[in-house]
Each structure stands twice: as C-alpha cells, then as structure tokens.
C-alpha cells in the first residue's frame, strides 16, 4: 500500500480541527450519548423562547463540543438567527488569573466585530469616557475623539489585548475598568438592541456562543473555591445580563462543584455532552458504541475501495481494542490512531502497533494521576458514581474519570461515571482496587 495513502490517513486523524457543520466525516452519536442532541436541547430552547435564554454547555475536553456547537450555529442560522460564535483565545482571557471582566470585554469585542451593521456609538461612548484614565496607562497618546469609528473599534480590541500584553499594567487597567462593568454591560446591551432592530430580513433572533471558556485553568482561591466559582457563580447575574441569547461553554468540573445546585438554580440544567458509551456500567463491551466509534474511523479514512480490516487494521480484535481504549472520547481516539501509525512502516496497522499506542497513552495517565488519587479512582471504578467534592472535579477535569449516560429500564436517563479504560491496566490502580475490595470484604 502506498506511503501517500498512509500519510493521508495519518493527517486525517488530526486532533485539532473541530468538524465544520455538514462535514461528511461527522457521525451522529446521539443514540450512544444518551440521545443528547444539541439542536433539540439547546437549539429549540432558543427558537421557542419568548425571552432571552442563557445556557451552559459542557463536556470533556476534546469530546466534540466545538464540533457540536458549530452544528448548532448552522442550525440556528438556518432557522432565523444571527449567530456570533467565538472561541475565546489568549487575547480574551488572561492565562494566569482570568476575571469576569475579561469575559465581558471579550463578548463586547467579538460582538463589535461580528455585528457590523449595528451602531457602535454606545460602546465607543463608554470607551471615550474611560479614555483619560486609560491614556495615562500608556495605552496611547492620541485623543479618542479624533479617531475614525473604525480606529475607535480597533482601540477597543487593543484595550483587551493590552490587559494581556503588559502584566505589570494589567491590574491597573482592570482597576480602572472594573468599577464600570455595569455601565459597559448597559452600553453593550444598547448596542445589541440596535443590532436586533437591524437584523437582516428573515432573521428574528440574535445568539452569542462563547466557546472555549472551559479553557480557563482552575486556580484555587481562598476558602476552597476556584477561579471558576468566582466567574460563573459570583458573576452569574452579569453573565445572564446580555440582551440576546447566550451559550457559554464551562469546564465540566463546574457541574460537580459543591455549589452545583446553585449553578442549576441560576442557569437551569447545564447541557452536558457525555462520552460515547463503549462499555456498559457492568463492564461489558457495548457493541453499539463500538460500532459508532468504528464508523467515525471509517468516515475519516473515507475510502470505499479498501477494507477497514485487514487492509487498514490488521485484525478486528485490535481495532475493537483500540476503540474500547478510547473511552468513547473522540480526541483520544484520534490520538490513538495517529500514534499507532507512528509505529508502522506500511499498512495495515498491526495489533502490536496498537498496543504500543495504548502503552504510550497509558504512560500519560500514569504521569497525570497523583499519588493520593489512585484510591479515589478505585472508588469510582467500583461505585460508578462520583461525589460533589473538589478532588473528583479534578479527575473529571483531567479526564481520568469520564461521564457516560444510559437509559435505564424505566426509560430514565442515568448518568454514570467510570475511570478511563486506559487507567484500568495500570499497576497502581489495580493495587488500589485490590485494597479497596479487601476493605469492603472486611467491613461486611
């Protein structure tokens, strides 16, 4: 088999591009993700609602959130919405200590850039009022009034970028801006109102989707709280205060904080994208889930003239093993296939190459888990449940524990949790399970 084909397959399993809406490689996994359908769950709420809705979306890193959100954007646009989707990046969020202000400034910047027809005057007016304060912080010497409208808009982007660029100035800029977040929010809403008045024909809703907010690294704050609590709970009122429909992505660990019920009270139930169920809670291989994963692989390879087994993969057993070890997590799957190809000179991908790829991925988990966490992991593996405690949030955040859902006998949707299948063969984990089972026997 030619090297070109191998290279093409290798490059098609890239871990870093979310699929655009309508991409032929997309596989609808709703039935093995507990019938979660973003178009119905988040989309319809927006399309049917009379008032503005603010919703949260979450799931494991690399599980397919951005791909789903891009589908949602497409769906909403086809149903009379103007959608401003943005993936918050390093110009928006401070890598060391993000604050609510960052998110507000970020939303403002992206809406300003995305809604060209609306009148930016309210926002620019706000910036003009702050100008004298900010000028002192060496932002610029020029006078604001003399700038063209375009240049004024650029200045706004610069303001947010400068907060990031000059660490020493960061706090000073924030100190100048923070007391005025309420007026900024009002100005932004005025701008949004104008944008809504000027919506193109056939468009009735305005939606903002803020992706990537789950990228904020959890930093512990006083009293056992994290930076996530400070942003998503303490500032919930402001986050909900935008005059358009909003969807924020939040870290999955937020949903399991000690204040998870507060979160629910404020935003309603957050929409979670669970992993593709490749194993049942009883530890049996789930054939439907595995078939979905194989479908994902097949669509990525996108060649009808070659057999998946034995031309691409040496054996069905090896392929299934690989699917199982992905934990039903899409990016993990991409990574496993990619690294397996690193271990062969020519197709097919042998069992040996698959096991090497699994070994390497397992090593990463060995490096991730900290000493005291093995016992917690053993507990999750036995109970298939987690507690609302900080230490479990960390395990969700770093994907050592994955969330799945299934329908029970009564047709009720049941979330359950399991340790990542790659961890299950690690010696420290096996020891911890043995210890725990021993304890249980002694207690009985």
Partner 1 sequence: MKSEAIDWEQDLPLDADEAYQSLVRSLRRTDGFSLLFVRCSPIQGEQIITDIGNDLKDKNIQVLELKESIENLYDRIAALDDLEHLNILFIKGIEQSIFAYEDREGNDINLRSLSPQYGGTWHDVPRVLGHLNLSRERFRDNFKFCIVFLLPEFALRYFIRRAPDFFDWRSNIYDFPTEKALVDQESFRLVSDGSFDEYQQLTNEQRIAKLCEIKSYIDESTDPTRTSELWAEKGLIHAAAKEYEEAIASFDRVLQIKPDDHQAWNNRGIALGILGIYEEAIASYDRALQINPDEHQAWYNRGYALGNLGRYEEAITSYDRALQINPDEHQAWSSRGYALGNLGRYEEAITSYDRALQINPEDHQAWYNRGIALGNLGRYEEAIASYDRALQIKPDKHEAWNNRGIALGNLGRYEEAIASYDRALQIKPDDHKAWSSRGYAFLRLAKFDEAFASFEKEMEFNEGSAYYDKACYYAVQNQIDEAITNLQKAIEIDSEEYLNRAKTDSDFDNIRHDRRFQALIQ
- List contacts with partner 1 (CB under 8 A): 2-3, 6-7, 10-11, 14-17, 61-62, 87-90, 92-96, 167, 215, 217-220, 314-315, 318, 321, 331, 335, 338-339, 341-346, 348, 350-352, 354-356, 358-360, 362-364, 367-368, 371, 374, 394, 397-398, 425, 428, 431-432, 435
The burial of 186, by beta-carbon neighbours within 10 Å (0-12 exposed, 13-18 middle, 19 or more buried), is given as: middle
In the complex, the smallest distance separating the C-beta of residue 219 from partner 1, rounded to whole angstroms, is: 7
Burial of 292 (0-12, 13-18, 19+ CB in 10 A): buried
Smallest separation (angstroms) from partner 1 to the CB of 302: 16
CA distances in angstroms from 286 to 190, 293, 406, 421, listed in the order given: 52, 11, 11, 13
How far apart CA 188 and CA 111 sit, in angstroms, is: 9
Beta carbon of residue 307, minimum distance to partner 1 (angstroms, whole number)? 14
Name 271's bridge partners. Answer: 57
User: Which of 54, 84 has the CB closer to partner 1?
Assistant: 84
Contact of 85 with 209, CB cutoff 8 Å: yes
Q: How far is the CB of 25 from partner 1 (least distance, A)?
A: 17
CB 5, min distance to partner 1, A? 11
Q: Give the tokens for residue 258.
A: 């000690």
d(C-alpha 316, C-alpha 391), whole Å: 38
- Quick one: 345 or 410, whose CB is closer to partner 1? 345
DSSP state of 255: G
**Matching residue, tokens 């789950």:** 214
CA distances, 154 to each of 92, 124, 186, 307, 324 (Å): 14, 10, 20, 53, 49
Shortest gap between Cβ of 20 and partner 1 (angstroms)?
14
CA distance 339 to 357: 6
Q: Which stretches within 198-329 are classed as H helix?
A: 227-232, 236-239, 260-267, 287-301, 316-325
- Cβ distance to partner 1 smaller for residue 270 or 421: 421
Alpha-carbon distance of 415 to 417, in angstroms, equals: 7
Q: Torsion-angle region of residue 83: left (phi > 0), alpha (psi -120 to 50) or beta? A: beta
Q: How far is the CB of 117 from partner 1 (least distance, A)?
A: 27
| DSSP result, 163-204 | HHH-HHHHHHHHHHHGGGHHHHHHHHHHHHHHHHHTPPTT--
- CA dist., res. 351 & res. 317, Å (int): 8
Task: Please answer whether residues 405 and 416 qualify as being in contact, where contact means their C-beta atoms are separated by less than 8 angstroms.
Answer: yes
Structure tokens that stand for 5 in this block: 């084909």
Distance, CA of 131 to CA of 302 (rounded, Å): 55
Nearer to partner 1 among residue 44 and residue 425 (C-beta): 425
User: Least distance (Å) from partner 1 to the CB of residue 179?
Assistant: 26
Q: Which is nearer to partner 1, 11 or 204 (CB)?
A: 11
CB of 106 to partner 1, least distance (A): 11
Shortest distance (Å) from residue 321 CB to partner 1:
6
Q: CA angle, 30 as apex, 24 and 32 as ends, to 5°?
A: 115
Distance of alpha carbon 6 from alpha carbon 374, whole angstroms: 38
Q: Which of 53, 275 has the CB closer to partner 1?
A: 275
* Cβ distance to partner 1 smaller for residue 148 or 371: 371
Least distance between partner 1 and beta carbon 361 (Å): 9
Nearer to partner 1, 7 or 143 (CB): 7
Between 192 and 325, whose beta carbon lies closer to partner 1? Answer: 325
- Is 106 or 152 the residue whose CB approaches partner 1 more closely? 106
Nearest residue (CB) to partner 1, 75 versus 164: 164
């Amino acid at each position: 088999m030619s090297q070109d084909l191998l290279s093409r397959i290798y490059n098609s399993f890239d871990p870093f591009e979310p699929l655009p809406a309508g991409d032929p490689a997309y596989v609808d996994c709703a039935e093995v993700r507990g019938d979660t359908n973003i178009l119905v769950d988040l989309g319809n709420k927006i399309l049917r609602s009379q008032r503005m809705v603010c919703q949260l979306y979450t799931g494991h890193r690399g599980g397919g959130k951005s791909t789903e959100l891009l589908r949602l954007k497409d769906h909403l646009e086809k149903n009379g919405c103007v959608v401003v989707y943005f993936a918050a990046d390093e110009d928006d969020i401070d890598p060391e200590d993000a604050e609510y202000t960052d998110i507000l400034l970020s939303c403002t910047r992206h809406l300003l850039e995305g809604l060209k027809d609306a009148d930016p005057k309210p926002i620019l007016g706000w910036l003009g009022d702050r100008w004298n304060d900010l000028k002192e912080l060496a932002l610029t010497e020029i006078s604001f009034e003399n700038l063209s409208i375009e240049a004024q808009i650029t200045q706004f982007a610069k303001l947010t970028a400068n907060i990031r660029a000059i660490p020493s100035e960061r706090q000073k800029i924030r100190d100048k801006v923070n007391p005025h977040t309420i007026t900024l929010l009002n100005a932004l809403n005025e701008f949004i109102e104008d944008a809504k008045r000027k919506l193109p024909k056939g468009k009735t809703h305005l939606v903002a989707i803020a992706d990537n907010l789950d990228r904020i690294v959890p930093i512990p704050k006083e009293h056992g709280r994290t930076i996530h609590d400070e942003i998503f709970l303490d500032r919930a009122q402001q986050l909900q205060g935008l005059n358009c429909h909003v969807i924020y992505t939040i870290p999955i660990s937020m949903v399991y904080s000690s204040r998870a019920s507060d979160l629910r009270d404020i935003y309603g139930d957050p929409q979670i994208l669970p992993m593709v169920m490749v194993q049942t809670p009883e530890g049996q291989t789930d054939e439907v889930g595995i078939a979905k994963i194989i479908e994902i692989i097949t669509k990525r390879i996108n060649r009808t003239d070659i057999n998946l087994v034995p031309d691409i993969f040496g054996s069905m057993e090896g392929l299934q093993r690989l699917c199982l070890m992905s934990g039903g997590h899409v990016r993990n799957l991409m990574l496993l296939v990619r690294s397996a190809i690193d271990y062969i000179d020519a197709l097919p991908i042998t069992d040996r190459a698959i096991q090497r790829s699994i070994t390497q991925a397992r090593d990463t988990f060995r490096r991730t888990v900290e000493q005291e966490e093995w016992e917690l992991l053993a507990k999750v593996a036995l109970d298939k449940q987690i507690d609302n405690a900080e230490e479990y949030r960390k395990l969700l955040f770093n994907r050592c524990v994955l969330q799945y859902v299934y329908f029970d006998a009564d047709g009720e949707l049941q979330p359950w949790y399991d340790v990542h299948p790659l961890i299950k063969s690690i010696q420290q984990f096996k020891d911890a399970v043995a210890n725990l089972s021993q304890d249980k026997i002694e207690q009985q």
